[in-house]
């Protein structure tokens, strides 16, 4: 019951505006993972004056083997080195990829351009399903993933150097 696994990976490209730039980012994510992309929109009027419902970026969620394979490519893009600061209190971690062409197997396409992206990895253990139920329960303190455990898991499974 203590075995850690990848729950999901969320890839996010923030464009800051809709239009052609957002369409190219959406096309890029579809090419990278061959799945359906979701457009993210503003939720409320912000202090910057952005109206509600305006498209800002796109994202995609990966689970299972797709998530594991993409994580290997993403870690290769950052030379298998990540900082201790990228781990949150629940053991999840995020990393940024400056240019998508750093991913293995991706070539530059002049129609798309160059985009950076955020890769957010959510880790979980067996039994975390109770958090997603209609009437959610809580996870005991001993069963939660601590940042140190997540670091060890990443080092062991992906040969990552945590600095």
Which pLDDT value is given to residue 126?
Answer: 92
* H or E element at residue 81: strand 81-82
Spatial separation of the C-alpha atoms in residues 41 and 52, rounded to whole Å: 8
**What residue ranges of the chain have pLDDT lower than 50?**
none
Spatial separation of the C-alpha atoms in residues 161 and 78, rounded to whole Å: 11
> Domain containing 108 — which CATH number?
3.30.1440.10
Which pLDDT value is given to residue 45?
Answer: 67
Which pLDDT value is given to residue 52?
Answer: 80
Q: Nearest 5°: CA angle at 64, between 135 and 137?
A: 15
Q: How many domains does the chain have?
A: 1
Which pLDDT value is given to residue 51?
Answer: 77
How large is the C-alpha radius of gyration of the chain? Answer: 17
The three-class DSSP label of residue 95 is strand
Domain range enclosing 142 = 5-162
Which pLDDT value is given to residue 72?
Answer: 94
Which pLDDT value is given to residue 43?
Answer: 79
Which pLDDT value is given to residue 54?
Answer: 86
């Amino acid at each position: 019951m203590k075995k850690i696994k990848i729950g999901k990976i969320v890839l996010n490209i923030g464009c800051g505006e809709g239009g052609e730039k957002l369409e190219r980012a959406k096309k890029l994510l579809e090419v990278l993972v061959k799945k359906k992309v979701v457009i993210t929109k503003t939720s409320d009027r912000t202090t910057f004056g952005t109206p509600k419902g305006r498209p800002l970026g796109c994202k995609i969620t990966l689970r299972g083997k797709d998530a594991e394979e993409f994580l290997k490519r993403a870690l290769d893009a950052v030379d298998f080195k990540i900082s201790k600061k990228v781990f949150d209190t629940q053991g999840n971690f995020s990393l940024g990829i400056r240019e998508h062409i750093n991913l293995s197997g991706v070539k530059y396409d002049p129609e798309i351009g160059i985009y950076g992206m955020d890769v957010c990895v959510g880790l979980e253990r067996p039994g975390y399903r109770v958090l997603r139920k209609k009437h959610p329960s809580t996870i005991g303190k001993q069963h939660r993933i601590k940042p140190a455990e997540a670091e060890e898991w990443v080092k062991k499974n992906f040969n990552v150097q945590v600095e």
